[in-house]
Amino acid sequence: MSTFHATLNTCEPVEMTRVHSLLEVFSALRNAATALTAGLTAGIQHRWTMRTLDRFSDRRLRDLGFERDWDGTVIPIVDGK
């Protein structure tokens, strides 16, 4: 007896969503690729911006609303400090 057959009765049946056309598959893949690309682009822009801010002096960072942490990383100033 395989593991599949042994656990067959313990699992709840799941209804599979039916794909009506090949265009829906491509549309879903396009939407997923768009979301992944947007996240990757935002991450690259954030790294580029932080690398640019890393070169600024402490005074200029303070003017822009950032400060250096104890290890030298640039972090935004929190109002509660």
Residue 43 has pLDDT above 70, yes or no: yes
Could you tell me the pLDDT band of residue 9, with boundaries at 50, 70 and 90?
low
Residue 69 near residue 61 (C-beta atoms within 8 A): no
CB 74, CB 66: distance < 8 Å: yes
Average pLDDT, stretch 50-79? 90
Q: Is the pLDDT of residue 80 over 70?
A: no
Which pLDDT does position 16 carry in this prediction? 60
Q: What phi and psi, each to the nearest 5 degrees, are found at residue 47?
A: -60, -40
Quote the strand ranges of 3-81, DSSP E. Answer: 66-68, 74-76
Burial class (CB in 10 A: 0-12, 13-18, 19+), 56: middle
Q: Does the structure show a pLDDT above 70 at 44?
A: yes
d(CA 43, CA 52): 14
